[in-house]
Amino acid sequence: MTSSKIEIPGEVKSDPAALMASLQLMPSPVPNPEIKYTKIFINNEWQDSVSGKVFPVYNPATGEQICEVQEADKADVDKAVQAARLAFSLGSVWRRMDASERGRLLSKLADLVERDSVYLATIESLDSGKPFLPTLFVDLQGTIKTLRYFAGYADKIHGTSIPMDGEYLTFTRYEPIGVCGQIVPWNFPLMMTAWKLGPALACGNTVVLKPAEETPLTCLYMAALIKEAGFPPGVINILPGFGPTAGAAIASHMGIDKVAFTGSTEVGKLIQEAAGKSNLKRVTLELGGKNPNIIFADADLDLAVEEAHQGVFFNAGQCCTAGSRIYVEEPIYDEFVRRSVERAKRRIVGSPFDPMTEQGPQISREHQSRVLEFIQSGITEGAKLECGGKALGLKGFFIEPTVFSNVRDDMRIAREEIFGPVQQIMKFKTIDEVIERANNSDYGLVAAVFTKDISKAMTISSAMQAGTVWINCFNALSTQCPFGGYKMSGNGRELGENGLKEYSEVKTITIKMVAKNS
Amino acid sequence: MTRAEMVLSALFYQSRCTRNDVLTFLMFQLFINNEWQDAVSGKTFPTINPASGEVICQVAEADEADVEKAVKAASNAFRLGSPWRRMDASHRGLLLNRLADAIERDAAYLAELETLDNGKPYAVAYAVDLPTVVKCLRYYAGWADKWEGKTIPIDGDYFCYTRHEPVGVCGQIIPWNFPLLMQAWKLGPALATGNTVVMKVAEQTPLTALYVASLIKEVGFPEGVVNILPGMGPTAGAAIARHMDVDKVAFTGSTEVGHLIQQASGSSNLKKVTLELGGKSPNIILSDADMEYAVEQSHFALFFNQGQCCCAGSRTYVQADVYDEFVERSVERAKKRVVGDPFDLKTEQGPQIDQEQFNKILGYISSGKREGAKLMCGGGIAADRGYFIQPTVFGDVQDNMTIAREEIFGPVMQILKFKTLEEVVTRANDTKYGLAAAVFTKDIDKANYVSSGLRAGTVWINCYDVFGAQAPFGGYKASGVGRELGQYGLDNYTEVKTVNTVPIKNLFSALVVCLLHTSLPLCTVLSAAVFPPKNDKKAKFLLFSTKKFNLQNA
């Protein structure tokens, strides 16, 4: 497929007739999808929890229960770690496997996810409330591409041979770390699973993975595909459960060599503490953000308004990358606010299975209340509520697209991560000022700048304390490009070649030589 | 219809991917722009089954005019804005992966066709050549979106980065000894990096490459990206090597022709040249080696693929104290080698590729006898039709004999005696070639000494002919230029572009540079650009500094 021919659903929408026509051609969700897997996946087998406990999983669009899932706790984590350790033991099938064969298995997994992508997207929508079509085009494609990308890397993780001083021959090997605990969030359940599994498996590790308690279903289905693809038993173990119990057991486990966590900064700190208190396991964290999106007066205004809108409202605002501090240059501030409000008012909120829907519900009742409370604080602290601000509908956890103008940097809505459909628009005058204000945050995940001036773009992009900077675009994530946070937005990088380093130990091997020559 | 043609049709019929007669016919044409075409001249040439000497079928014969057409197609496919140039790198990888899948699907058929056209035992074609082809393509599929440029902390306030761009139209000329595998070695890196290809396949073995062409079309490569031309070296090959619009040429074949390719590049457009040429590779057996294992490996090193390997271990150096036993066992092993019908699953050795090679090898065997080497076994023709030669072993070979210096490319093993490590390294390196080498020993120090002392692109320790798509391969000295396979293989197909930009903030540093070079007029222009008149405070200061600086210099 050539880039020029890719039809982006968002672009089609400008022509309602064409949109309706194209929607006819789009895949439809699976009606009344059967939920096949609700147990714990250890050693390629489905198991009940040791405690016998289960927990309910809800559809956030209706608040109704979908099913019950086995609840993993410490005892189950112990079992999973044992399986993962055995799978990682010297001489095991997994350790003896050619690197290219590991890649082949990942590639097969990608093919299987592709085969079942409509079903998976349906379940993902049902369980997380995200609209079906974006799930199919963004989440599922992202999952498939990530698995394929790391499949290709399996036999390309090169060590080096080193011209060391003295009569020696030295070379390095990149070896897997061992058993990796992986804790994934609910905002992109399947894609975050792929981000975690891809590099871990390409490098030859074994995995104990905990999906979020809100959204375990697609991850469990993926477990079935993992088995079908032919991964040896124990290489991947998937344990649905809660953070304070199963998650904490992973973080503090003495038999886990590395833990990777994606979620809130608050929990990220607990993970690092637990590693410090237990076995100094390696820690990578991908945490929150309060990301600045800087719009200069010379920017293409239509593009900037739309990208800034998508940048904060995408996935009902539940993105760590959300561009939730929009800094707009003074001369265009009023116009930018006017257009942004107009755009937000047009945003279609509704059933995730309606093809016209742009925004589904928030993930849970609790989260909905949290976002509404942030909105209240904005009003109280004196920001101007331009539109939205309320819960929407009688059932489900929907919130109106909300825009605040006249936001000051010291307000809570400008400092804390809201993780909801709430846009903050601020005004700035000079480039030096906006650099300082944008960087004045505990976070440093992403930043964006909109301008036609290459010099401003380069100046901002090098000045931002952020792991990713987008120029005239937003959320342009791709499996080839590393992603992760400065400061309290995280440790380490996922994706790209950098992502592999986080799952490798380097071993330096030095051999005494008799008579060295160059 | 000749008997061979009937066999061929039967093969097509039996294969899982049965093609209709029309396609069967079309596949003996040239493949240009995803279309099957006759040669401009209308000429054809016969391709021969070396096991019987019979003609299999006629194949269109490409010449200069056809190369011209193919290069036009490839240039067009490479033009800025073309589907191929606009394609995501990951999608190039996906296409290569799909090609690997299609070849895997049709592996049994391709192996049969390879055996028919080339004479290599079917069991080997199916179990070695085909899986290796698939793995090679998958390996490079993975590289497509991982071939990263760098950002570079250049001095000054400039922003500097490199892009890895495709070279352009690549001419690729491949040999007959591993037709499918050499095709994959060439296509994998060239396509992963986004080049377009004009490939000439050997006139002895065009059939599998043409079938792969049909798969290339099937999996969806845009037209013109890969063009495949069966033809002769002096005509089609030469036309590629000297073509002004071919940006790079890669050749695998004899050292003699390698010289011609590089000359043609020099006298035309200085196209980039990579060469993978001949060898006379030393295989060194130390007295502490596991004897049984070393004998078997050395036998395999030389006789594999009827001896038709550029990396054949054709100088077996054996330490004096185990020499006699080694020769005795090697002869015993060679006598046991099963020569015969390549479709018989017990067959270890099929025919040589053609009459010319057959005669040449027999000539080398006579020269060995004439120059005083001791013929231990074989030495003659092995069947009354086809190009079969008996597995042949020479003992008491001296370094200056023709059979110890020249590449025989046949089932003829030379065993030489040595005493010390220093001596054997010197003798092993005393050749114009430097493709591969091996050492057999249990002693890690000896292994390290020999492996670092040998002037060869690949050294095997206690093994031979170990290839992986991940590991680079290529020659020192007259064995070649550049490396194929591995990440190194991508270099051959890449132009590095360095991009430097000067942002406004950095126009300031350009200003400083100008100041240092006392170019006042340019300084004035630049400072006006950096500091527009309303921001005159800084500008005045800078202009003042400029004057001061110039005054000081004056």
Average pLDDT over residues B83-88: 96
DSSP A385: E
Please check whether residue B305 is in contact with residue B123, taking contact to mean a CB–CB distance below 8 angstroms: no
A514 contact residues in B (CB cutoff 8 A): 445, 448-449
Q: Which of B141, B453, B505 sits opposite A455 (nearest CB)?
A: B505
Give the pLDDT of residue B534: 46
Choose from B94, B441, B448, B508 for mutation: most chain A CBs within 10 A: B448
Identify the contact set of chain A against chain B, taking CB-CB distances under 8 A: 1-4, 99-100, 103-104, 107, 145, 148-149, 151-156, 158, 169, 453-459, 462, 479-480, 497, 511-517
Provide the residue count of chain A: 518
- Number of neighbours of residue A115 by Cβ within 10 angstroms: 12
Give the pLDDT of residue A12: 41
Average pLDDT over residues B358-363: 98
Q: Is B504 on the interface with A (CB under 8 A)?
A: yes
Average pLDDT over residues B91-97: 97
Query: Three-state SS for A58?
Result: strand
Average pLDDT over residues B205-218: 97
- What is the distance between the alpha carbons of residues A171 and A155, in angstroms, rounded to a whole number? 17
Q: Containing H/E element for B259?
A: helix B255-267
Give the pLDDT of residue B357: 98
Average pLDDT over residues A50-76: 98
- What is the distance between the alpha carbons of residues B496 and B507, in angstroms, rounded to a whole number? 25
More confident position, A251 or A17: A251
Q: What is the mean pLDDT of chain A?
A: 95
pLDDT, tens digit, 9 for 90 and up, residues B16-26: 334 343 335 44
N- to C-terminal Cα distance for chain A? 47
Give the pLDDT of residue A241: 98
Local confidence band at A123 (pLDDT 50, 70, 90 cut-offs): very high
Closest to A419 in 3D by CA, of A248, A273, A266, A275: A266
pLDDT, tens digit, 9 for 90 and up, residues B501-515: 765 454 554 555 545
As to burial, measured by CB atoms within 10 angstroms (0-12 exposed, 13-18 middle, 19+ buried), residue A3 is exposed
A152 contact residues in B (CB cutoff 8 A): 93, 141-146
pLDDT, tens digit, 9 for 90 and up, residues B366-394: 999 999 999 999 999 999 999 999 999 99
Give the pLDDT of residue B524: 53
Q: Containing H/E element for B284?
A: strand B282-285
Q: Containing H/E element for A342?
A: helix A333-346
- Are A151 and B159 an interchain contact pair (Cβ–Cβ within 8 Å)? no
- Are B145 and A155 an interchain contact pair (Cβ–Cβ within 8 Å)? no
Q: What is the mean pLDDT of chain B?
A: 89
Closest to A354 in 3D by CA, of A59, A28, A116, A123: A28
Local confidence band at A394 (pLDDT 50, 70, 90 cut-offs): confident
- What is the distance between the alpha carbons of residues B289 and B225, in angstroms, rounded to a whole number? 49
Give the pLDDT of residue B15: 46
Choose from A102, A107, A469 for mutation: most chain B CBs within 10 A: A107
Q: Is B363 on the interface with A (CB under 8 A)?
A: no
Please check whether residue B481 is in contact with residue B275, taking contact to mean a CB–CB distance below 8 angstroms: yes
Q: Is B470 on the interface with A (CB under 8 A)?
A: yes
- Are B87 and A2 an interchain contact pair (Cβ–Cβ within 8 Å)? yes
Give the pLDDT of residue A334: 98
Average pLDDT over residues B192-197: 98
B510 contact residues in A (CB cutoff 8 A): none
Q: Is B164 on the interface with A (CB under 8 A)?
A: no
Q: What contacts A55, CB < 8 A, 6 or more positions away?
A: A68, A69, A71, A213, A240, A242
Q: Is the pLDDT of residue B520 over 60?
A: no
DSSP B485: S
Give the pLDDT of residue B515: 52
**In chain A, pLDDT over 90 holds for what percent of residues?**
92
Give the pLDDT of residue A251: 98
Closest to A222 in 3D by CA, of A241, A194, A261: A194
**In chain B, pLDDT over 90 holds for what percent of residues?**
83
Q: Is B516 on the interface with A (CB under 8 A)?
A: no
The residues facing B318 across adjacent strands are: B285, B417
Give the pLDDT of residue B543: 41
Choose from B221, B439, B504, B526 for mutation: most chain A CBs within 10 A: B504
Retrieve residue A170's tokens: 């030295």
Q: Is the pLDDT of residue A172 over 50?
A: yes
Q: Is the pLDDT of residue B453 over 90?
A: yes
Please check whether residue A45 is in contact with residue A233, taking contact to mean a CB–CB distance below 8 angstroms: yes
Q: Which of B125-139, B412-426, B514-528 has the lowest mean pLDDT?
A: B514-528
Q: Is the pLDDT of residue A221 over 90?
A: yes
Local confidence band at A8 (pLDDT 50, 70, 90 cut-offs): very low
For residue B339, give how far its alpha carbon lies from the nearest alpha carbon of chain A (Å).
33
Q: Is the pLDDT of residue B479 over 50?
A: yes
**For chain A, give me the number of helices (H) and strands (E)?**
19, 22
pTM for the model stands at 0.87
Q: Is B480 on the interface with A (CB under 8 A)?
A: no
* CA B384 to the chain's CA centroid: 34
Q: Which of A156, A455, A517 sits opposite B143 (nearest CB)?
A: A156
Give the pLDDT of residue B157: 79
- What is the distance between the alpha carbons of residues B276 and B256, in angstroms, rounded to a whole number? 12
Please check whether residue B384 is in contact with residue B367, taking contact to mean a CB–CB distance below 8 angstroms: no
The domain spans of chain B are 18-276+489-497, 282-469
- Are A152 and B145 an interchain contact pair (Cβ–Cβ within 8 Å)? yes
pLDDT, tens digit, 9 for 90 and up, residues A83-121: 999 999 999 999 999 999 999 999 999 999 999 999 999
Query: Three-state SS for A229?
Result: helix
Q: Is the pLDDT of residue A494 over 80?
A: yes
- What is the distance between the alpha carbons of residues B395 and B412, in angstroms, rounded to a whole number? 11
- What is the distance between the alpha carbons of residues B216 and A282, in angstroms, rounded to a whole number? 45
- Are B146 and A497 an interchain contact pair (Cβ–Cβ within 8 Å)? yes
Strands B480-481 and B272-276: antiparallel
Catalytic residue chosen out of the listed positions A71, A124, A213, A286:
A286
Local confidence band at B9 (pLDDT 50, 70, 90 cut-offs): low
Give the pLDDT of residue A514: 81
Residue in chain A closest to B160 (alpha carbons) equals: A458
Query: Is CATH 3.40.1030.10 the right assignment for the domain spanning A40-287+492-505?
Result: no
**CATH number of A292-478, picked from 3.40.50.2300, 3.40.309.10, 3.40.50.300, 3.50.50.60:** 3.40.309.10
Third-level CATH fold of B282-469: Aldehyde Dehydrogenase; Chain A, domain 2 (3.40.309)
| CATH topology agreement for domains A40-287+492-505 and A292-478 | no
Instruction: Give all strands (DSSP E) within A315-358, no chain letters.
Output: 325-329
Q: Is B549 on the interface with A (CB under 8 A)?
A: no
pLDDT, tens digit, 9 for 90 and up, residues B461-473: 999 999 999 999 9
Q: Containing H/E element for A471?
A: strand A468-471
Residues 333-362 of B with CB under 8 A from A: none
Retrieve residue B282's tokens: 């030393």
Please check whether residue A395 is in contact with residue A365, taking contact to mean a CB–CB distance below 8 angstroms: no
Q: Which of A152, A454, A497 sits opposite B141 (nearest CB)?
A: A152
Q: Is the pLDDT of residue A298 over 60?
A: yes
- What is the distance between the alpha carbons of residues A456 and A121, in angstroms, rounded to a whole number? 40
Query: CA angle, corner A347, sides to A345 and A348, nearest 5?
Result: 125
Size of interface A-B (CB pairs under 8 A): 96
The residue written with tokens 């637990």 in the block is A274
Local confidence band at B552 (pLDDT 50, 70, 90 cut-offs): very low
Q: Is the pLDDT of residue A465 over 80?
A: yes
Residues 116-145 of B with CB under 8 A from A: 135, 138-139, 141-145
The residue written with tokens 């791709």 in the block is A478
Average pLDDT over residues B282-300: 98
Q: Is the pLDDT of residue B425 over 60?
A: yes
Q: Is the pLDDT of residue A62 over 50?
A: yes
Give the pLDDT of residue B208: 97
Q: What contacts B384, CB < 8 A, 6 or more positions away?
A: none
Q: Which of B91, B448, B469 sits opposite A511 (nearest CB)?
A: B448
Give the pLDDT of residue A24: 74
Residues of B with catalytic annotation? Answer: 276
pLDDT, tens digit, 9 for 90 and up, residues A257-290: 999 999 999 999 999 999 999 999 999 999 999 9
Third-level CATH fold of B18-276+489-497: Aldehyde Dehydrogenase; Chain A, domain 1 (3.40.605)
- What is the distance between the alpha carbons of residues B79 and B342, in angstroms, rounded to a whole number? 45
Q: Where are the alpha helices (DSSP H) in A175-300?
A: 189-202, 217-229, 248-251, 265-277
Cα distances (angstroms) measured from residue A128 to each of A58, A86, A396: 9, 34, 11
The domain spans of chain A are 40-287+492-505, 292-478
As to burial, measured by CB atoms within 10 angstroms (0-12 exposed, 13-18 middle, 19+ buried), residue B80 is exposed
